Structure 1
Amino acid sequence: MDEMDEWVEQVDEHDQVCGVVLRREAVQRGLLHRVAVTLCRDPGGRILVHRRSERASRFPGHYEVVVGGAVAVGESYEAAAVRELAEEFGVRVSVRHVTTFLNQHGLSPHWLGIHEALISVEVEPDHDEVVWHEWLTESELFAFMEQRPFTPDSSEALRQYLAARGDR
């Protein structure tokens, strides 16, 4: 099934459920829905960065600083973050909620739940989705982001993550 054909909960400006729609419809019509992402750090504090496949339906070949996707009907932000991390990088770890905000960047407006995870095992990316990955320090990441195309969500998610942690 195409990821845009997933059923998602339509939510309002207060992140309260008001219906169920296909993600494709939510994006096309600008209906609010939920997305969960995780910023992954290794024990040394480095951040996982990856490049999307050229076959990706959205932002092919772009880089990302978070791992995630749509929150399914009846699923919590946290459960979606854990599921997406397992699907995309083959790791099952707990995640910690950092912040949730109404994101106006990306394909359409959506509520974005940001989590963080400590990854101390080797990641095994799904090569249909991820064609390259690396662990970068924050300073390396900032320099890297100036030189490469990142998804619109990545910059905003990183900014919100750092602000919620009081880093910037």
Structure 2
Amino acid sequence: MAEWVDRVDEHDRVLGVVERGEAIERRWLHRVATVVCRDAGGRVLVHRRPDEDSRFPGAYNWLLGGGVEAGEEYGAAAGRELAEELGTTAPVRFRFKFLCQGVISPYWLACTRR
């Protein structure tokens, strides 16, 4: 099933809607939202990615997240990803975003906090 994302420019302005796989293959900028989960004591949740994941299987990660769907805001995407990956809902707060030259492709990465 295709995942549709906004293709964006170096200023995070939308250029059009493309399939996420094509954005990655062609190294087009698109958006990714992540959540850092912390408890009241300041400890950060670290999780192990499933062995069957297509990207970084079995690796440990301190971010939860994924692609921002076409037309979706970063915060909404972060909340959706939290629900998908942990099976829970919680308010998230936008912290910052930056242009990331990721290993797989470049993208705008927004970090939110739970």
Taking structure 1 as the reference length, the TM-score comes to 0.67
Q: Does 1:47 align with 2:41?
A: no
Query: 1:58-137 to 2 correspondence within 5 Å?
Result: 58-117=55-114
How far 1:105 sits from its partner (Å)?
A: 2.0
Instruction: Give the match for residue 122 of structure 1.
Output: none
Which structure 1 residue ranges, 5 or more long, are not aligned? 118-168
How far 1:91 sits from its partner (Å)?
A: 1.4
How far 1:102 sits from its partner (Å)?
A: 0.2
How far 1:95 sits from its partner (Å)?
A: 0.6
Which structure 2 residue ranges, 5 or more long, are not aligned? none
Q: Percent identity of the aligned residues?
A: 56
Query: CA-to-partner distance for each residue in 1:22-64, whole Å, 9 max, x for gaps?
Result: 1000000000000000000011110000010110011111111
Give the secondary-structure state (helix, strand or coil) at the position aligned to 1:82. helix
Bigger proportion of residues as helix: 1
Instruction: Give the match for residue 145 of structure 1.
Output: none
Letter in 2 for 1:110: Y
Taking structure 2 as the reference length, the TM-score comes to 0.97
Larger gyration radius, structure 1 or structure 2: 1
Runs (4+) of structure 1 exceeding 4 A deviation are none
Query: 1:5-16 to 2 correspondence within 5 Å?
Result: 5-16=2-13
Letter in 2 for 1:113: A
How far apart are the structure 2 equivalents of 1:64 and 1:26? 23
Number of matched pairs: 114
Letter in 2 for 1:65: W
